Amino acid sequence: MPLYRRLAHRGFSNYPFKEHYDVVNVCDLQIRYEDGETVSAETLVAKGLIKRADLLVKILATGELSKKLTVTVDKVSAAAKEKIEKAGGSVAAKVES
Protein backbone atom coordinates (compact mmCIF):
# COMPACT_ATOMS: atom_id res chain seq x y z
CA MET A 1 0.00 0.00 0.00
CA PRO A 2 1.42 3.45 -0.88
CA LEU A 3 2.71 5.65 1.92
CA TYR A 4 0.20 8.45 1.24
CA ARG A 5 -2.66 6.00 1.84
CA ARG A 6 -1.15 4.63 5.05
CA LEU A 7 -0.73 8.02 6.73
CA ALA A 8 -3.62 9.85 8.32
CA HIS A 9 -4.80 12.92 6.48
CA ARG A 10 -4.95 15.95 8.71
CA GLY A 11 -5.71 19.51 8.01
CA PHE A 12 -7.99 22.45 8.59
CA SER A 13 -11.63 22.39 7.62
CA ASN A 14 -13.57 25.65 7.54
CA TYR A 15 -16.92 23.84 7.51
CA PRO A 16 -17.92 24.47 11.17
CA PHE A 17 -17.31 28.21 10.75
CA LYS A 18 -18.98 28.70 7.38
CA GLU A 19 -21.79 31.26 7.32
CA HIS A 20 -24.79 30.50 5.11
CA TYR A 21 -26.87 33.42 3.86
CA ASP A 22 -30.37 33.33 2.41
CA VAL A 23 -30.16 35.50 -0.70
CA VAL A 24 -32.92 37.92 -1.70
CA ASN A 25 -32.73 40.06 -4.83
CA VAL A 26 -33.87 43.65 -5.17
CA CYS A 27 -36.40 42.61 -7.85
CA ASP A 28 -38.11 40.35 -5.26
CA LEU A 29 -38.44 43.34 -2.93
CA GLN A 30 -39.97 45.36 -5.76
CA ILE A 31 -42.65 42.71 -6.33
CA ARG A 32 -43.57 41.81 -2.74
CA TYR A 33 -43.28 45.10 -0.80
CA GLU A 34 -45.30 48.29 -0.92
CA ASP A 35 -43.81 51.78 -0.85
CA GLY A 36 -42.60 52.78 2.64
CA GLU A 37 -42.47 49.28 4.17
CA THR A 38 -39.62 47.90 6.28
CA VAL A 39 -37.65 44.88 5.06
CA SER A 40 -36.41 42.61 7.87
CA ALA A 41 -35.98 38.88 8.39
CA GLU A 42 -39.42 38.63 9.98
CA THR A 43 -41.19 40.43 7.13
CA LEU A 44 -39.28 38.35 4.55
CA VAL A 45 -40.62 35.19 6.21
CA ALA A 46 -44.14 36.64 6.27
CA LYS A 47 -43.93 37.47 2.55
CA GLY A 48 -42.55 34.01 1.72
CA LEU A 49 -39.12 35.06 0.43
CA ILE A 50 -37.16 33.09 3.04
CA LYS A 51 -38.11 30.12 5.21
CA ARG A 52 -36.74 30.97 8.67
CA ALA A 53 -36.12 34.29 10.41
CA ASP A 54 -33.16 33.04 12.47
CA LEU A 55 -30.92 32.55 9.40
CA LEU A 56 -28.65 35.24 7.96
CA VAL A 57 -30.04 37.30 5.06
CA LYS A 58 -28.18 39.07 2.26
CA ILE A 59 -29.72 41.46 -0.27
CA LEU A 60 -28.26 41.36 -3.79
CA ALA A 61 -28.68 43.88 -6.61
CA THR A 62 -30.37 41.82 -9.33
CA GLY A 63 -33.26 43.77 -10.80
CA GLU A 64 -34.59 47.28 -10.40
CA LEU A 65 -36.19 49.03 -7.44
CA SER A 66 -38.48 52.06 -7.57
CA LYS A 67 -40.06 51.88 -4.08
CA LYS A 68 -38.84 53.63 -0.96
CA LEU A 69 -37.96 50.82 1.50
CA THR A 70 -36.19 50.65 4.85
CA VAL A 71 -33.91 47.59 4.83
CA THR A 72 -32.60 46.10 8.09
CA VAL A 73 -30.92 42.77 7.36
CA ASP A 74 -27.57 41.12 8.09
CA LYS A 75 -25.73 41.95 4.87
CA VAL A 76 -26.31 44.11 1.78
CA SER A 77 -24.15 44.24 -1.35
CA ALA A 78 -22.75 47.63 -2.33
CA ALA A 79 -24.72 47.72 -5.59
CA ALA A 80 -27.96 46.82 -3.78
CA LYS A 81 -27.36 49.55 -1.22
CA GLU A 82 -26.85 52.04 -4.04
CA LYS A 83 -30.12 50.98 -5.73
CA ILE A 84 -32.10 51.17 -2.47
CA GLU A 85 -30.75 54.62 -1.60
CA LYS A 86 -31.28 55.83 -5.19
CA ALA A 87 -34.97 54.89 -4.86
CA GLY A 88 -35.19 56.98 -1.66
CA GLY A 89 -34.89 54.18 0.88
CA SER A 90 -32.41 53.54 3.65
CA VAL A 91 -30.16 50.64 4.61
CA ALA A 92 -29.28 49.60 8.15
CA ALA A 93 -27.25 46.44 7.53
CA LYS A 94 -24.91 44.92 10.08
CA VAL A 95 -22.27 44.26 7.40
CA GLU A 96 -21.96 45.84 3.97
CA SER A 97 -20.02 44.07 1.26
Q: What is the topology classification, in CATH, of domain 15-96?
A: Ribosomal Protein L15; Chain: K; domain 2 (3.100.10)
> pTM of the predicted model, to two decimals?
0.80
User: Is pLDDT above 90 for 13?
Assistant: no
- pLDDT tens-digit readout, 26-83: 999 999 999 999 999 999 999 999 999 999 999 999 999 999 999 999 999 999 999 9
Contact 39, 33 (CB under 8 A): yes
Better-predicted residue by pLDDT, 6 or 50:
50
H helices of the chain, in order, are 3-6, 26-32, 41-47, 78-86
